[in-house]
Chain A
Amino acid sequence: MAAPEKLLTPGEPPSLAQAQSQVDPPLINLKPVNWFFDLNRAMSLWPVTFGLACCAIEMMSASMARFDIARFGAEVFRPSVRQADLMMVTGTVTRKMATPLVRLYEQMPAPKYVMACGNCAISGGPFKFDGQYAVVEGVDQLIPVDVYVPGCPPRPEAILEGVFKIQELITGRRWWPLPREMAS
C-alpha cells in the first residue's frame, strides 16, 4: 500500500525534484575520435519542440525567415525527446511544469545540452517576489544548464548566439565571426 500523499498547507510550495540522469563515461576515449564526434554534435544540434511561454515565440522566430537557425544546422525541431540534443527552456517554469520538464530532460539520450532562454528560466524574472508559490526561480534548480540567454524575451539573435555558445562549449572554439559591434 502506497504512503498517503502529503497534503500541502497553504503557503508551503511542493518540493522540487532534481533531474536524475547519469551519463556513462565513453568506452573508448580517443582524442581525435572525440574531437570528430564533438564537431558533428556541435554542427547538428536538434532542439526539442518545447516552448513554455513568450520566449518560445522568439524561438520560433529564430527558426523562421529573417533569422533562420537552419543555417547552422539546428532547425530540426524533434517532437520526440529521444531524438533531440538540445533543450531550450523558453519561458516561465511553473511548479506544475517542473515535473514534466524534469521527466523530458531525463528522457533525452546522452549528449544533451540545455539552454535557459529568458529571465524567467534563468532566475524567475518578473515572477520573483516574496511569497510567490507558483514559479520555479531558475530552471537550474531542476536540471543542469549549459548556457544562459538573458532577455525578456531574448531576441532571436540572442538565441542564435546561445546556440553558438553551446557549439563553443562542445568543441572548444567559436565557429562563426563576431558581429561588428562585439568584435570592436
Chain B
Amino acid sequence: MDLSLAIFVQIIAAVLLIIALMVGNAVVMVYMERKVAGFIQRRPGPYEVGPWGTIQAICDSMKLLAKQLYRPGNVDLILYYLAPVLAFFPVLLLFLPIPFGPWLTALHINEGIVLILAFAGLGVLSNLLAGWASNNKFSLLGAARAVAQTVAYEIPMILALLAVVFLSGSMDLKRITEQQGQWPWEWNILLQPLAFFIYLVSLVGETNRAPFDLPEAESELTAGFHTEYSGMGFALFFLSEYANMLLVSFVAAVFFLGGYKGPIADGFWWLFIKAYAVMFFMVWIRWTFPRVRFDQLLNLNWKWLLPLGLLNLWATAIIMKIFL
C-alpha cells in the first residue's frame, strides 16, 4: 500500500472520529453502567442531575478535569505521567481496521485481526508501568495481577477467534463480515457457539472487569494499579477501559454476530447495536457476580478455556478439511 495523500488524510480523519467515538462512548458507558447498576440493585441510579441523570457523566468528567493533579513522592516521574497516555493511545490504533459499514473502514488491511491482537497487548503495558511507577505496593501488586491475567486470557481469546478465521479462510475483518448473512441464523455464532462462549468469557478477563477485576480488587488492593492517580490520570485509565470494552465488543460483533449486516438494511447502526448489546452483557455480569479468587481465575483459564479452545479449533479444522 502506498501512503498517498488521500490515505493520509483518510487516516487523520478516521483518528479524529475515533477519538470522538471513544469519548462519547465513555460518557454513554458511565451513564449506562451506573444506571444498570441501579436497576439491578432496585434503585433508580443517577436521576436528578439533568433529566434522568443524563448529564451525570459529563459532570463527573468535568470534575475530574478540575481535580488537583497529585504526584506522590519518589515516583518515577516520566513513567508516572506516561502510563495514562500510553493506556489511551494504542486503543486509537485498534479501531482502524474495524469495518463499520460496507464502505466505512478507516484502514482496510487484509490482516486486521493480527493488528488488533498485537496492539491490544500494549494496554497491559500501561497498567504495568502505572503500577511500577507509582511506588506503591498496592499498585505494584495490581499491575502484576493485570499482566498475569491479560497474558493468560489472550490465549483462549486468540484460539476462539482463530476458529472463525479457519471457517472463513481470512483474517480480513471485512471478508469475515461479508461471509455472514443478514439474518441471525446466518451468523457465525450458530456455527461456532463454543468459540463465542470462550470469547465472551475471555473478553471479560481481557478488559479487567468484574468478576475478573483482580487488578483493581477493592477489598484487597485499594484500587490496584491506579491507586495513586488522581484527576485526569485516573480519567484516562477510565476512558481507555471503556474504549477497550468497546473494541472487544466490536470484534465480537464482527466475528460472531454478523458485523454491520443485519435485517432490513446493512450499516454501522447494526454494528453499534450488537456491540452495545455485548457491552450491556458485560455490565450486567459485573453487577451480578462476585469477584473470583486469583487461583480460580487462572484455573478457569488454563484448565477449562484453553483445552476447550484447542479442542474447538481441532474439531473445526477436521470438519473444514473433510466436508468443505
Q: Which residues of A contact B (CB under 8 A)?
A: 23, 36-37, 39-41, 43-44, 49, 64-66, 68, 70-73, 75-76, 78-80, 82-83, 85, 109-111, 175-176
Cβ–Cβ contact B68 & A109, under 8 A: yes
B77 CB → nearest A CB, Å: 17
A111 CB → nearest B CB, Å: 7
Please pick, from B34, B38, B46, B70, the residue contacting A82 in the complex, using a CB distance under 8 A.
B70
In the complex, B229 has a CB within 8 A of chain A = yes
Please pick, from B53, B62, B67, the residue contacting A71 in the complex, using a CB distance under 8 A.
B53
Cβ–Cβ contact B222 & A80, under 8 A: yes
B59 CB → nearest A CB, Å: 4
Count residues on chain B whose CB falls below 8 Å from chain A CBs: 34
Complex formed: what's the CA distance from A44 to B69 in Å? Answer: 17
State the majority secondary structure of interface residues on B: loop
Please pick, from B42, B56, B70, the residue contacting A65 in the complex, using a CB distance under 8 A.
B42
B31 CB → nearest A CB, Å: 11
State the majority secondary structure of interface residues on A: loop
B170 CB → nearest A CB, Å: 43
Cβ–Cβ contact B67 & A68, under 8 A: no
In the complex, B49 has a CB within 8 A of chain A = yes
Cβ–Cβ contact B66 & A37, under 8 A: yes
Cβ–Cβ contact B53 & A110, under 8 A: no
Complex formed: what's the CA distance from A85 to B230 in Å? Answer: 10
Nearest first, the 7 closest Cβ-Cβ pairs linking A and B are A110-B68, A80-B223, A109-B68, A40-B62, A71-B47, A68-B43, A82-B230
A137 CB → nearest B CB, Å: 30
5 intermolecular pairs with C-beta atoms under 8 Å apart: A70-B37, A72-B49, A80-B228, A111-B66, A111-B67
Cβ–Cβ contact B227 & A82, under 8 A: yes
Please give me the residue from chain A that is nearest to B217 by CB atom.
A79
Contacts of B293 in A (CB 8 A): none
Please give me the residue from chain A that is nearest to B47 by CB atom.
A71
In the complex, B186 has a CB within 8 A of chain A = no
Cβ–Cβ contact A82 & B229, under 8 A: yes
Contacts of A175 in B (CB 8 A): 48
Please pick, from B48, B69, B222, the residue contacting A72 in the complex, using a CB distance under 8 A.
B48
Cβ–Cβ contact B34 & A75, under 8 A: yes
Complex formed: what's the CA distance from A83 to B232 in Å? Answer: 10
In the complex, B63 has a CB within 8 A of chain A = yes
B270 CB → nearest A CB, Å: 32
A106 CB → nearest B CB, Å: 11
Complex formed: what's the CA distance from A76 to B34 in Å? Answer: 9
Cβ–Cβ contact B231 & A109, under 8 A: yes
Cβ–Cβ contact A111 & B48, under 8 A: no
Cβ–Cβ contact B49 & A73, under 8 A: yes
A153 CB → nearest B CB, Å: 21
Cβ–Cβ contact A79 & B222, under 8 A: yes
